[in-house]
Chain A
């Protein structure tokens, strides 16, 4: 009886339809949540951007730390004097650019050679060791890398590399203690290389074997064949790997806040070699450093503005990484 009434009413769904509907709903929820994230972060960030305009990205306005203090304190007296939003983030952006670009440049060369080695030239036992090693390197938490930097690299640079005269030459403005650009770049290189190696190796493996063998048949040696045929074919994968690693480097906050020095100072390339030891503070780690000041409304907006810049660049980069891989599909190489 009941069955009949059910069938008369709404058409009964089969198991498949029900499953498809509920899974589809789940997917919609996840997608909706993430789109909501984009909207909410930008909405919270809006006051900071609208007050500063493009000068948000510019330099000037005094030390970043002083600007932050001013913004934070203006939130204490509600109404009186109004909120201060003035923020010029250039030192943070410059630091992010320097650290990320430096690490990606070094990691790109290293990862390319390692990927070529793993895919083509390493003897089998070496391959068996290297692959898990790279995977392990990728899974070490960033706080451990930071700890390594703070406990090993920083004291080493401070005691053995940076001379006292170098320290004295900049002592009125900043202190060189090993927390600085080069430490951040070196450790970030180790952190992002595994990502690159994985993407590069996938790309190189996808190159059809007979293309390389065709090159051998022409009498070209193995190194040159691989380099000229496989690496060239896998160029989209190289771009994709570099872009993904850049996104990873931009978003790295914990390790960088531990070793980069934590001072909103823009390192100056014309300082010569000292430049490499100068402390700075990238965008992502500044969020971590100032997040306990978010009780002040203008400060919260500033934090979200920094987050919005990071999110925007990360989204752009991951889309670019996806787009970069497409040409390989066109000529039938699926990475």
Chain B
């Protein structure tokens, strides 16, 4: 490929360039190095500070009200809350996202609807998450959806895991759709035609041939979606409430219908700008969050390599 032999222009040494061009190249190098240094230092900073304050005790106890940082417990519930949120919202976003992507790339039949759907998804990707959260409040405070959250004195609270997870799934949806669609479109048409030629229907082809072939892209989309869901704070603050622990109404469903807490809102409230102001706890929780994000990134990276190896043609 020509792109790889980018350096191939014999006799063109940067030392012979005009000064302004040389300065430009130097600036590009400096910025590249600066960004690497910045990222490494952000990650290292949180890993080191976090390890100083993290203990097994923090991971196994629940937040309590208290006066000093030694009294206020750990963040077991926030951590579980993050896991529950990620699982629930991906359970919605992944099938829905794959469905929308398959429809867009394989069917897309009234062209007008396809165009509307495409721009709607684009719009969803650009919509601020606070706005989505406020919309979620409107949706889940309506009496029709009252069974998904708790009700006090006839007023639907609208704050629950169900509410937060459904809105978070809207945030993850565009990422899943974009990645799956990209994967499906990269598959050349002769693959589809080969499958039709042996008598497979379109949907069987999609399920048995296309989606398995696009699996690295599905994984990438899912992991990026999980990363977005885990990292989102605004939706959690608005739709999950600001309680310290889970407010369960009893049973697992009661837990999901109750208010809760997640790592991001825990960090937000424990930062010096928040209501609780316990920087040590915030560092430790940020450490856990960053480790999760790093792991997700690793998966994305590996899936991307797999996809590149499987490239068609």
Residues of chain A touching chain B, judged by Cβ–Cβ distance below 8 Å, are: 14-16, 18-20, 23-24, 26-28, 30-31, 33-35, 37, 40-41, 44, 110, 113-114, 116-118, 120-124, 126, 129-130, 132-137, 139-144, 146-148, 150-152, 179, 190, 193, 205, 209, 213, 216, 221-224, 227, 244, 247-248, 250-254, 257-259, 262, 284, 287-288, 291-292, 294, 303-304, 307, 310-311, 314-315, 317-319, 321-322
Q: Name A129's contact: one of B36, B104, B231 (CB within 8 Å).
A: B36
Q: Assuming A26-B96, A117-B32, A144-B290, is B17 touching A223 (CB within 8 A)?
A: yes
Q: How many residue pairs at the A-B interface have CB separations less than 8 Å?
A: 262
Q: Write out the residue numbers on chain B whose beta carbons fall within 8 Å of the beta carbon of A216.
A: 9, 12
Q: Write out the residue numbers on chain A whose beta carbons fall within 8 Å of the beta carbon of B27.
A: 113
In Å, the complex CA distance between A34 and B96 comes to: 14
In Å, the complex CA distance between A114 and B36 comes to: 11
Q: Which 6 A-B pairs have the closest CB atoms?
A: A251-B128, A141-B231, A318-B126, A19-B203, A23-B103, A117-B28
B127 and A251 contact, CB distance less than 8 A: yes
- Shortest Cβ distance from B138 into A: residue: A40
A159 vs chain B, min Cβ distance (A): 14
Q: Name B203's contact: one of A15, A120, A291 (CB within 8 Å).
A: A15
- Shortest Cβ distance from B136 into A: residue: A37
A271 vs chain B, min Cβ distance (A): 24
What does the 1/0 interface line of B87-102 toward A look like (CB < 8 Å)? 0000000001001101
In Å, the complex CA distance between A120 and B28 comes to: 11
Q: Write out the residue numbers on chain B whose beta carbons fall within 8 Å of the beta carbon of A146.
A: 268, 271, 273
- Shortest Cβ distance from B177 into A: residue: A30
Q: Which residues B220-256 have CB closer than 8 A to chain A?
A: 224, 227, 230-234, 237-238, 242
Q: Write out the residue numbers on chain B whose beta carbons fall within 8 Å of the beta carbon of A317.
A: 126
B42 and A222 contact, CB distance less than 8 A: no
Interface size, B (range): 35 or more
In Å, the complex CA distance between A136 and B16 comes to: 36
User: What would 20 more interface pairs be, CB under 8 Å, given A15-B201, A253-B130, A307-B130?
Assistant: A15-B204, A19-B202, A20-B103, A26-B99, A26-B100, A26-B103, A117-B28, A129-B36, A133-B35, A136-B294, A139-B297, A143-B268, A216-B12, A222-B14, A251-B130, A253-B234, A254-B264, A262-B273, A284-B128, A314-B127
A209 and B2 contact, CB distance less than 8 A: yes
A206 vs chain B, min Cβ distance (A): 11
A14 and B237 contact, CB distance less than 8 A: no
In Å, the complex CA distance between A317 and B125 comes to: 11
Q: Assuming A34-B124, A294-B137, is B234 touching A141 (CB within 8 A)?
A: no
- Shortest Cβ distance from A247 into B: residue: B126
Indicate whether B219 reaches chain A with its CB closer than 8 angstroms.
no
Q: Assuming A30-B96, A216-B12, is B31 touching A117 (CB within 8 A)?
A: yes
State the main secondary structure of chain B at its contact with A: helix
Q: Assuming A216-B9, A291-B238, is B28 touching A113 (CB within 8 A)?
A: yes
B126 and A20 contact, CB distance less than 8 A: no
B264 and A315 contact, CB distance less than 8 A: no
B40 vs chain A, min Cβ distance (A): 8
Q: Which residues B16-67 have CB closer than 8 A to chain A?
A: 16-18, 21, 24-25, 27-29, 31-32, 35-36, 38-40, 42-43, 45-46
Q: Assuming A133-B35, A303-B134, is B264 touching A143 (CB within 8 A)?
A: yes
In Å, the complex CA distance between A189 and B21 comes to: 25
- Shortest Cβ distance from B102 into A: residue: A23
Q: Write out the residue numbers on chain A whose beta carbons fall within 8 Å of the beta carbon of B233.
A: 141-143, 254
- Shortest Cβ distance from B301 into A: residue: A132
B297 and A136 contact, CB distance less than 8 A: yes
Indicate whether B209 reaches chain A with its CB closer than 8 angstroms.
no
Indicate whether B309 reaches chain A with its CB closer than 8 angstroms.
no
Q: Write out the residue numbers on chain B whose beta carbons fall within 8 Å of the beta carbon of A16.
A: 201-203
- Shortest Cβ distance from B16 into A: residue: A221
- Shortest Cβ distance from B28 into A: residue: A117
A322 and B122 contact, CB distance less than 8 A: yes
A62 vs chain B, min Cβ distance (A): 25
In Å, the complex CA distance between A135 and B190 comes to: 33
What does the 1/0 interface line of B273-313 toward A look like (CB < 8 Å)? 11000010011001001100110110011000000000000
Q: Assuming A26-B99, A222-B9, is B38 touching A190 (CB within 8 A)?
A: yes
B6 and A291 contact, CB distance less than 8 A: no
In Å, the complex CA distance between A147 and B231 comes to: 13
